[in-house]
A = this chain, B = another copy of it.
Amino acid sequence: MKIEIWSDVKCPWCFVGKRRFEKALADFPHRDGVEVTWKSYQLDPDLPDHYEGTEQQYLAERKGIAPDQVRQMWQHLAQQAEGEGLAFDVDRIVVGNSFTAHRFLHLAKAHGRGDAAKEAVMSAHFEQGLDTSDVDVLVRLGVGIGLAEDEVRSTVAGDRFADDVRRDIEEARTIGVQGVPFFVIDRKYGISGAQPTGLFRQALDQAWQEAHPLVSLTPSGDGPACGPDGC
């Protein structure tokens, strides 16, 4: 079973949703038969690499959300994140364009470290107040998950994997993704948003069951049974 997850590294619900999904997957009996792929998405492709101001200022100024509402939103978010074991450090979040971080994720994916990279970048951004648009920060994160320093530096400083990022975003548009996180199972089922763990589990069960229908062991037909219309 193939699960693709469109997500922006700077999207807080994507981090919360990652945890909820992971918990469902950890309990899923067929987890060894599940392949998870992270796909790039950008909530704000027009952001400069480094935005001068806090996340709260950014949302108020660029998105026109009232400061009070922004505060409330982040309080709620931080609480939900805490419930999933995440320690958001809201005031230290560094705002900036996520394109470079997405190219870094594609490099990691090419080395089979996509999930580790996603985790490292999101934690750096939301929990550690690190600037994940910065080349040195990404190099450090890359080395931390076992990538070669030189390759990370040249990739991040250059333009490599830019087409892969754009292709993911284009695919999201094709599929009809309007917000992230967005989970797609076998290109057949879509799950939008950071749903509760129980719902992810139900979706995994249902998708698996439909992809692996029960094999009848009674070729001669059903035995006597009771149904809605009688026995």
A residues at B contact (CB < 8 Å): 8, 11-14, 16-17, 29, 43-44, 59, 63, 65, 73, 77, 80, 170-171, 174-176, 178-182, 184-185, 187-196, 199, 202-203, 205-207, 209-210, 212-218, 220, 222-231
Contact = CB atoms under 8 A, between A and B. Distances in A.
A231 B192 contact: no
A226 B174 contact: no
Nearest to A14: B226
Query: By CB atoms of chain B within 10 A, which of A14, A196, A214, A227 has the most?
Result: A214
Nearest to A62: B230
A77 B225 CA distance: 11
A75 to B, nearest CB: 13
A222 to B, nearest CB: 4
Contacts of A216: 189-192
A19 B215 CA distance: 23
Contacts of A179: 222, 225-228
A131 B201 CA distance: 36
A43 B222 contact: no
Nearest to A213: B176
